[in-house]
Amino acid sequence: MYDTYTQHAAYAAPAVAPASGYPEVYRNLMTIGLLGAIYRSKDDADIVNTAVEATLDDPSFYRMCRAIAVGMGGDVGYARDQLGSYVEQHPDDDNAKVAMAVSLMLGGDAEWKSWLDNVLATSSEQSAREAANGVLTFLSALQQAH
């Protein structure tokens, strides 16, 4: 009897958080919310993403991911609202500016280029400069392929 209980308890126990710090079920929830944003299931995605953001100590990185996902779905409003106000509050976060540019670009908004130009002209943050150059390199490769 004890052995049977032990076996069942092991299956019912919550998953141990992997190296990323989040249990698998939580990462799956994040994925569902972001995919919902990409595939324009706005209402459902908003519910999931809002729930995820409410549990994070600092949701800023997740919001950047969400802005890119929503941009992939063709909507730049979230990026303008959320990342725009974030950048106003944190004008030195050049990675957020790159995320804004990518979201706008994916959503078809021509203003994306000015965000990347700003990062390349003013940023001393190496990771942001590399990301901005990476976006431009990728776009150049796409143009050459077509």
Residue 71 belongs to some domain of the structure: yes
pLDDT of residue 144: 86
Report how many domains make up the chain.
Answer: 1
Range of the domain at 33: 13-145
Task: Tell me the C-alpha distance between 128 and 6, whole Å.
Answer: 50
pLDDT by residue for the chain (146 residues), tens only, comes to 444 434 444 444 444 444 467 788 888 999 999 999 999 888 899 999 999 999 888 998 999 999 999 999 998 998 899 899 999 999 999 999 999 999 999 999 999 999 999 999 999 999 999 999 999 999 999 888 87
Residue 88 belongs to some domain of the structure: yes
How far from the centroid of its chain's Cα atoms is residue 96's Cα? Answer: 10
pLDDT of residue 115: 96
Closest CA to 107 of 37, 53, 15: 37
- Give the length of the chain: 146
Closest CA to 105 of 142, 68, 57: 68
Residue 97 belongs to some domain of the structure: yes
pLDDT of residue 20: 60
**Exposed, middle or buried, 74 (CB in 10 Å: 0-12/13-18/19+)?**
exposed
For 3, 48, 50, 128, the CA distances from 78, given in Å and listed in that order, are 52, 15, 12, 21
Residue 5 belongs to some domain of the structure: no
Residue 4 belongs to some domain of the structure: no
pLDDT of residue 11: 41
Closest CA to 136 of 69, 115, 109: 115
Q: pTM for the complete prediction? A: 0.77
pLDDT of residue 97: 96
**Token match 């994070």: residue?**
56
pLDDT of residue 17: 42
Residue 6 belongs to some domain of the structure: no
Q: Is 122 helix (H, G, I), strand (E, B) or coil?
A: helix
- Radius of gyration from C-alpha coordinates of the chain: 19
Cβ pair 52, 79 in contact under 8 A: no
Residue 2 belongs to some domain of the structure: no
Task: Tell me the C-alpha distance between 76 and 63, whole Å.
Answer: 13
Residue 8 belongs to some domain of the structure: no
